[in-house]
Amino acid sequence: DAKTTQPPSMDCAEGRAANLPCNHSTISGNEYVYWYRQIHSQGPQYIIHGLKNNETNEMASLIITEDRKSSTLILPHATLRDTAVYYCIVRVASSSGNTPLVFGKGTRLSVIA
């Protein structure tokens, strides 16, 4: 089962920041938080991931609370193209190789003009 909890849906006005929350209260010390999004009928797109520090790239920012039990993905200026299902995933970092991602149902973000 997925180890994260996300709201099923959210709306955001175009041009405003979209803040997508995720709870992962049982996260372990060697587990990363990943965010992906999926636009209808396409493969999931990697957005960002982090362990405990806040991260930023050209797509988004990831804010992880100090206790690591929750995080927020921030899209600073949402556009209509950001309408998608957003998945928050916790994944163990194994020194023996790559482990699969376990997907939940995600948050359906609708950006409104």
Partner 1 sequence: DGGITQSPKYLFRKEGQNVTLSCEQNLNHDAMYWYRQDPGQGLRLIYYSQIVNDFQKGDIAEGYSVSREKKESFPLTVTSAQKNPTAFYLCASSSGNRGNSPLHFGNGTRLTVT
What residues make contact with partner 1 under the rule CB under 8 A? Answer: 2, 32, 34, 41-46, 49, 51, 87, 91-106
Nearer to partner 1 by C-beta: 13 or 92? 92
CB atoms within 10 A of CB 47: 19
Number of residues that this document lists for the chain: 113
CB atoms within 10 A of CB 82: 19
Closest distance of CB 16 from partner 1, Å: 27
Nearer to partner 1 by C-beta: 16 or 46? 46
Closest distance of CB 22 from partner 1, Å: 14
Nearer to partner 1 by C-beta: 46 or 77? 46
Closest distance of CB 103 from partner 1, Å: 4
Nearer to partner 1 by C-beta: 14 or 104? 104
